[in-house]
Structures are given as structure tokens and as C-alpha cells.
Amino acid sequence: MMILVTGATGSIGRHLVRLLRQQDKPFRAFVRDPDRARELDCDLVVGDFGDPDSIAAALSGVDRVFLCSPGAQPTPGSQPMVAQQTTVIDAAVRAGVRRIVKVSVWGARPGGLLAEGAHAEIEARLDASGLDWSILQPSGFMQNFLTGTGAFTSGGDLLGAYGQGRVSYIDCADIAACAAVLLSSDLGNGRRFVLTGPEALTHAEIAARLSEALGRTVSYIDQPLSDFADNLVAQGLPAQFAADVATLYADVADGSLAETTSAVHDLTHRPATTFAEFLSRERDLLRQWPPRHYG
């Protein structure tokens, strides 16, 4: 069995590479920049999602694929991720790959906004491919609060338009652990797994946990949806993209990501990581606070 890990330098992929290495599973990492990936300390194959020949070469001798690529982009029309991942799926069929484990998003549905619609389109393509597959649909990433993917003020306070909506954020290490199980076995064929953390927190509660971990006050500043969208436009993002993001925030405020599931425990036989446990583990990233901000 040979596993190809795409997105190997990303928030999930780095954890997956570490796990597969620890478990002595045969795998290779598909990377665009070998210098950035050198710290992965594994077999690398260099290529690009936009280069079908490099994808075909990477799939030679591969039995299973972990499919993960950059998410929604503020571009008009079809999301680039759709073409990228369907190229991998089609190449996997031609190469005789048996199984794909794909990272999607919770709430993926045809006609959905941004990543929700794009992932639904890719899921449908995977379902029609004839390959064995499992799909992971995680909630929001805990890592967003330490890497700058979330929105912050220059002083490190959280920005958002979530109101009192709760979100069951998940640690990317738990997503990787679930992927490792599915890549190393025949469990979960044809199934979608909604992955969440063990608790659903408001962003004010998240700010309080950050405050405790940092030893300084971090506040959550809730903005009206219109102000949040205007802020995105002021940063140069397209107005339609900003409007779509605002709509997704409204859904979260209404509780669309508040549910918790047992999927992490069901697959890994251990509890999902709490936000406090995540912050305790990531002390090195906390030293770099505040993260790069978009506010």
C-alpha cells in the first residue's frame, strides 16, 4: 500500500505526515515547494495541482490518496479548487488508485456559497468516479486563531460577526488522525464524517480562553454584518465575495456550526481535543501573538 498526501505542508497535512511516519506507513508527500516541505522529513514528489503531468507522475504506484487543497478564493465564477481536485480524481482513476480520503467542509451542498458549493461539486465527482472514498467534513479549525487565518485587530482582539452563535471548532491534528485511520484501513467506505471538537463555544468564550493562555486580555469585538463586509471590501476583496462571507457568518450566528459529533472518538477511539488542550499544546505559536491580522 502506498499513500499520496496532497496538501502536505498545510494545517492538516503536516499532522498527517507526522502520524503516518510514526505509524511506519508507506507514503509520499505531493508538494509545490520542496524547500518549504524539507522539514516534513519524508519522501517528496514535487508538482502542482495545475500541472496534470506532475499529478500523474505522483500517482504512479499509489493505492490511496489524501485529497486536500487550498479552500475558497475571492475569484469570480468557479472556485479553482474544483478544477484542481477533479483533476486529481480523474488522474487517480486512470492510475488505478483504489481509495481517496477527501477533506471537505461541514455544510457542503450543491449551490452553497464559496467552499460549501465547491466541495459539494467535488464530492459529487468523487462519488461518480467509481473509486472507494471517504469524506471528512470538519467544522472550523482551532488553528485559525493562532495562524492569522481568522480576523483580528492590530492589538490581537478577535473580530467577527458571529453574535452569540456557538461553533464546535476542531483541532487539525484530530482531522489528521481521522484521515490516518481511513487511509490505513477499509473503514468508512462511501461515508461522510462530520468532524467537530467536543464543545461548542461562543467567540467571547474563545477570547476568554485565549486571555487565560496568554496572561493578557483578549476581547471579542462583534460587528454588524454590513460593517464586516465593508471591512473586507476595504481590504480589496470583491464585493460579492464579501457579501457571501457575511451570509456565511449569519448562518454561523444562527447556529449552523454549533452541533458536536462523536466522529473523532468513533474513528480514533480517543476524545477530540478541547480548545484549552489545543492552546496548551501550541505554546510556541502563542509566543507569536498577536497573529497576522485582517482587521
What would the CATH number be for the domain defined by 3-138? 3.40.50.720
pLDDT reported for residue 295: 39
SS3 (DSSP) at 223: coil
Selecting from 3.30.565.10, 3.90.25.10, 3.20.20.70, 3.40.50.1860, what CATH number does the domain 140-170+197-259+271-295 have?
Answer: 3.90.25.10
Query: How far apart are alpha carbons 61 and 69 in whole angstroms?
Result: 21
The reported pTM is 0.94
* All CATH 3.40.50.720 domain ranges in the chain, comma separated: 3-138
pLDDT reported for residue 74: 65
* All CATH 3.90.25.10 domain ranges in the chain, comma separated: 140-170+197-259+271-295
- Per-residue pLDDT in tens (0 to 9) along the chain, 295 residues: 999 999 999 999 999 999 999 999 999 999 999 888 888 989 999 999 999 999 999 999 999 999 998 776 666 666 889 999 999 999 999 999 999 999 999 999 998 888 899 999 999 999 999 999 999 999 999 999 987 666 788 888 998 999 999 999 999 999 999 999 999 999 999 999 999 999 999 999 999 999 999 999 999 999 999 988 888 888 888 888 888 888 999 999 999 999 999 999 999 999 999 999 999 999 888 888 777 644 3
Burial class (CB in 10 A: 0-12, 13-18, 19+), 220: middle
Which regions of 167-260 does DSSP assign to beta strands (E)? 191-195, 220-222
Helix or strand run (H / E) with residue 176: helix 172-183
CB of 233 within 8 A of CB of 218?
A: no
| Strands 3-5 vs 99-103: parallel, antiparallel or unpaired | unpaired
